Structure 1
Amino acid sequence: MKKTIAIIGSGFSSLAASCYLAQQGNTVTIYEKNETIGGRARQFKKDGFTFDMGPSWYWMPDVFERFFNDFGKNPSDYYELIKLNPAYRVYFGVDDFISIYDNLEEIKTTFESIEAGSGAKLQNFINKAKSNYDIAIKDLVYRPGVSPLELITPQTALKLDQFFSTVSHDIKKQFTNERLIQILEFPVLFLGAKPTKTPSFYNFMNYADFGLGTWHPKTGMFDVVKGIEKLALELGVRFETNAPIDKIVVENKTTTGIIVNGQHIKADIVLSGADYHHSESLLDAEHRMYSEKYWDSRVFAPSSLLFFVGFNKKIENISHHALFFDVDFNQHAKDIYDDPKWPDAPLFYANFPSKTDATAAPEGMESGFFLIPLAPGIEDSETLRETYFEKIVARFEQLTQQSIKNNIIFKRSFCKNDFVTDYHAYKGNAYGMANTLLQTAFLRPKLKSKKVANLYFTGQLTVPGPGVPPALISGKLVAELIQKSFRS
């Protein structure tokens, strides 16, 4: 039977869910508080420069393919992909950087040139990572997190020990060069936790990196948002922007809709893809599943200080993606997770989309995106932002051996307070809830409310976890749960 479904938020999980729910024959409307759709994957334009405001790494292309294939489509029907080579570059000092190329053979050669014997070790490590990828990404993450039995399969039984060791421990057993160790530990940071706290099984992220490569939608990650929006429109989904939600309406322990800009919108099903903590704050206290104490006890992925910068010249000695690991990797991790504070010497990431996409900046100019990971809930002020911009620009100039500060046309910052204001992000987190052992699968907040009938959740605070590919999967999982409820 056709249902009227109201979806809160227009991030990747909401967009994906809307497509599946509309495909089922339902009447689906997305309500977005901001002026444009995309959630954290919005786009920012100024003076001929274009920036992705959120995700900028396109990994796990097979997940995107599987999503579009569910509708008889391909990603290429909606956007064009470019495989980056090098995928990224990691800076450790002046004239000291490592380029990660677009194929494993060249990466093995790079490793071998740095640490004798590491090429063969890397092949073995990636073989195991691929095995885990095939189990996790092709199977386990497509389970709804309803029962611990979902994790028990013949394949996972053989890898039980990998849930009780850590990624960092396993890497350090095989590699001794600190630079190689940091490169191998880097991908699990996308999961929102320290490599020393992330189960070994999650080394499948290394296969996503070295095995599947790093891609770039032709004119940025917003191409993917626009592509899924187009698919959703083709399926009959409606979009309402500038539509903040005041309340989720509940009568007799069943949701009957939402209050949007003071207006009661009736719906048979309400699905929130907004921040989970915020979504529950839209309910009266007795209808919430999780207490403030619960949320405060969770391990959240970092917040971030972002800068969107326009330069009036081309930037040299840099790749599309660049990581700056010229300071103490472990100390910065401690400053995020163990003793939350602003790091004295921060790691940072830089992205120059105009290296690949000529439309991202006016001719002869460059668009730059800088990111410093920070502890969620941290103090945020314009003074701190400016202090840290000066720090990373000074290091950038030294490490890439060029002057850029006097070539800045404009810059826009975005930090914890903005994540709270624009996305209602709990403690200003940027990536959701970390994928630690005790926050995996059935141990994450549920897709379906246990207190309010016909109320569901999706996104990076629920199953399966943070990241764009998991967000697409989360949308599919919740749509399947909703469809299942129709039949019961």
Structure 2
Amino acid sequence: MRQAAGTPVPAEAGSRDRAAARDRPAASRDRAPGGGSRGGRRRSAVVVGGGMAGLASAALLARDGYDVELLEQRDALGGRAGSWERDGFRFDTGPSWYLMPEVFDHFFSLLGTSAAEQLDLARLDPGYRVFFEDHAEPVDVRADLDANVAMFESLEPGAGERLRAYLASAREAYDLAVRRFLYSSFESLTTLARPDVLGRSRRLVELLLRPLGSHVARSFADPRLRQILGYPAVFLGSSPDRAPSMYHLMSHLDLADGVLYPQGGFTTLIEAVARLAEREGAVLRTGATVTAVTTAELPARRRRGPRRAAARGARARVTGVRWRDASGAEHLSEADVVVGAADLHHLETELLPPALQTYPQRYWDRRDPGPGAVLVYLGVRGELPELAHHSLFFTADWEKNFAAIFGAETRVPDPASAYVCTPSRTNPSVAPPGHENVFVLVPVPADPGLGRGGVDGAGDPTVERVADAAIGQLAAWAGVPDLRERIVVRRTVGPGDFAADLNAWSGGALGPAHTLRQSAFLRGRNASRRVAGLYYAGSSTIPGVGLPMCLISAEIMLKRLRGDRTTEPMAVPL
């Protein structure tokens, strides 16, 4: 844990603080009054999963007056946004892009603080560097819009001004999404019948039905520009030919707003939210594996009565969860509310009986899990000035690359597009002096059968082959011929690890893909239709994948719990 941005606290001190919070009687914890009381009794909530969405849910529920207990099966908090250390290198194990800063600012404001108080944010320039298979020179996307307009113009005459128009449309779409879609629980679609939505209905239909790749191609001919504007689909667990062009709004985030980085890495973000959750009184337990959501049957007359939308037609009400600690001892935590912030497929199909599943296996059989990934963590001797903090490596035949990942007959792409993060270019503390910290992500099919990773080449053969190919590609395209010989630390992670360690559906790296039928109100909702008091948060549900979306999902959960059907962000502070 950290007392303030950049001020480390010994690990044992954080453990003592967490143990003290667990041992304090619930009534002794300071909480702000809010919606968590019933008949003079504080209501209780259990949050399943200690990733970003779970921590955010715990913080907001505790702020709202609930007695909150969070249960995380792993030994550390963070979920996909974890951390791994070896020989002086510290790797973020998952998310590494800080986009949509206003979402983070808003979340922290709900808790009476700010991103500036909790994090030490640096603006990256270049925001990222792009390497192309069939072009010798990379392209830098800068932190300044005018510079990016000039770059587009240099690659395709006339593209600069077309970029301004494209980003103006992206900004308009983004602003509308924040006002009407991202913070909505979609309990009632009549809330979307607003003049600003209805007046753009024809345009919205076009953006939803036209694929992003086709939308980009209407304005830009150069393949490099099309790839720069199409790659955000990968952030959404999709591809340019499958993601709706509504998501062209993503390009405004990096080409106009710029890319930030929290000094110390994304573990500082997890620590900040965990710290705030504990400040509000939430108890955060690690090494606690939830084995079942417990329920009580509702009388038939109450199933039909005038109840909250989450409970109409419910067959049961939630009573808590059963869980097992690291020693194997079994426990029961009673609760009025349970928030499933772990993988929704796991929660629904493994922790609930079939009769109480809103999303049974047959639902998932018709859905798209998004891509899997092979992750490679490398400690490299010497500097790598050829790489920016973020670097993208794009193959020439994108269609073939994406077809291999998402097609009817999937396989590992060869060659494969890849993403490389070198945070030591910005933050030397994540690597020993004179070394670089390199994180490589190669999108592959979501298939646990591809195997698990390991340390020093000890992973399953397919995973290690993907890693070897990515290292060779990075060395060749970026002009670092001795890269392989300079590697002093190596670890790989495969789809099998996502399935085993995170209960990720199909070993997916991000969450369900943002295709048309898995976006907005067509995505999994955030409350059970079968169990009153059971809510969901995280990348499996609305609004979608990524750290900003996970923060928003926690807020939408609280809005739904409060009976708040508005589409805008909540007033701050909470």
With normalisation by structure 1, the TM-score equals 0.97
Indicate which of 46, 49, 57 corresponds to 2:89.
49
* Alpha-carbon distance in 2 for matches of 1:75, 1:166: 34
Equivalences for residues 298-377 of structure 1 within 5 A: 298-338=367-407, 339-377=409-447
2:273 counterpart of 1:203? no
Larger Rg: 2
Contact 1:145–1:444 (8 Å) recurs in 2: no
Indicate which of 520, 523, 536 corresponds to 1:457.
536
- Cα distance, 1:320 vs structure 2: 0.7
1:242 matched residue in structure 2: 287
Contact 1:108–1:122 (8 Å) recurs in 2: yes
- Cα distance, 1:166 vs structure 2: 2.1
Deviation readout 1:36-77 (Å, 9 max, x if unpaired)? 001110111111101111100000001101111112211111
- Cα distance, 1:150 vs structure 2: 4.3
Gaps of 5+ in 1: none
2:135 counterpart of 1:135? no
- Cα distance, 1:267 vs structure 2: 1.2
| One-letter code aligned to 1:369 | F
The verdict on how the C-alpha distance between 1:147 and 1:374 changes in structure 2, with shifts beyond 3 A counting, is farther
Deviation readout 1:308-347 (Å, 9 max, x if unpaired)? 1111222231111101114422211111111321112111
1:154 matched residue in structure 2: 195
Equivalences for residues 344-423 of structure 1 within 5 A: 344-377=414-447, 379-381=449-451, 382-402=460-480, 403-423=482-502
Contact 1:147–1:442 (8 Å) recurs in 2: no
The CA RMSD over aligned residues, in Å, is 1.4
2:10 matched residue in structure 1: none
Greater mean alpha carbon deviation, residues 143-152 or residues 22-31: 143-152
* Alpha-carbon distance in 2 for matches of 1:436, 1:95: 33
Greater relative CO (CA pairs within 8 A, separation 6+): 1
1:213 matched residue in structure 2: 258
Contact 2:422–2:439 (8 Å) recurs in 1: yes
Contact 2:89–2:431 (8 Å) recurs in 1: yes
| One-letter code aligned to 2:164 | Q
| One-letter code aligned to 2:291 | D
Equivalences for residues 22-101 of structure 1 within 5 A: 22-93=62-133, 95-101=136-142
* Alpha-carbon distance in 1 for matches of 2:57, 2:237: 23
* Alpha-carbon distance in 1 for matches of 2:268, 2:152: 34
* Alpha-carbon distance in 1 for matches of 2:110, 2:424: 32
Indicate which of 22, 34, 46 corresponds to 1:6.
46
| One-letter code aligned to 2:176 | I
2:334 matched residue in structure 1: 266
- Cα distance, 1:269 vs structure 2: 1.1
1:479 matched residue in structure 2: 558
Deviation readout 1:209-233 (Å, 9 max, x if unpaired)? 2121111001111111111111111
Contact 1:340–1:378 (8 Å) recurs in 2: no
2:345 counterpart of 1:282? no
Gaps of 5+ in 2: 1-36, 298-315, 325-329, 452-459, 565-574
2:512 matched residue in structure 1: 433
| One-letter code aligned to 1:392 | A
* Alpha-carbon distance in 1 for matches of 2:343, 2:389: 30
- Cα distance, 1:273 vs structure 2: 0.2
1:179 matched residue in structure 2: 224
Deviation readout 1:258-281 (Å, 9 max, x if unpaired)? 111121111111111000010112
| One-letter code aligned to 2:344 | Y
Contact 1:102–1:214 (8 Å) recurs in 2: yes
SS for the counterpart of 2:440 is strand
- Cα distance, 1:20 vs structure 2: 1.3
* Alpha-carbon distance in 1 for matches of 2:467, 2:529: 45
Contact 2:395–2:401 (8 Å) recurs in 1: no
1:227 matched residue in structure 2: 272
2:238 counterpart of 1:193? yes
- Cα distance, 1:478 vs structure 2: 0.5
| One-letter code aligned to 1:363 | P
2:160 counterpart of 1:119? yes
The verdict on how the C-alpha distance between 1:189 and 1:147 changes in structure 2, with shifts beyond 3 A counting, is farther
- Cα distance, 1:484 vs structure 2: 2.8
With normalisation by structure 2, the TM-score equals 0.83
Contact 1:347–1:373 (8 Å) recurs in 2: yes
* Alpha-carbon distance in 2 for matches of 1:140, 1:203: 15
| One-letter code aligned to 1:466 | V
* Alpha-carbon distance in 1 for matches of 2:283, 2:239: 40
Contact 1:167–1:185 (8 Å) recurs in 2: yes
- Cα distance, 1:163 vs structure 2: 1.8
Contact 1:144–1:441 (8 Å) recurs in 2: no
- Cα distance, 1:151 vs structure 2: 4.2
Contact 1:145–1:443 (8 Å) recurs in 2: no
* Alpha-carbon distance in 1 for matches of 2:190, 2:57: 25
Contact 2:70–2:282 (8 Å) recurs in 1: yes
Indicate which of 147, 152, 175 corresponds to 1:106.
147
Greater mean alpha carbon deviation, residues 423-432 or residues 286-295: 286-295
1:15 matched residue in structure 2: 55
2:546 counterpart of 1:467? yes
Contact 1:328–1:345 (8 Å) recurs in 2: no
* Alpha-carbon distance in 1 for matches of 2:90, 2:279: 27
| One-letter code aligned to 2:115 | P
| One-letter code aligned to 1:388 | V
Indicate which of 288, 296, 309 corresponds to 2:365.
296
Contact 2:395–2:415 (8 Å) recurs in 1: no
* Alpha-carbon distance in 1 for matches of 2:336, 2:149: 54
2:27 matched residue in structure 1: none
2:24 matched residue in structure 1: none
Indicate which of 205, 208, 211 corresponds to 1:166.
211
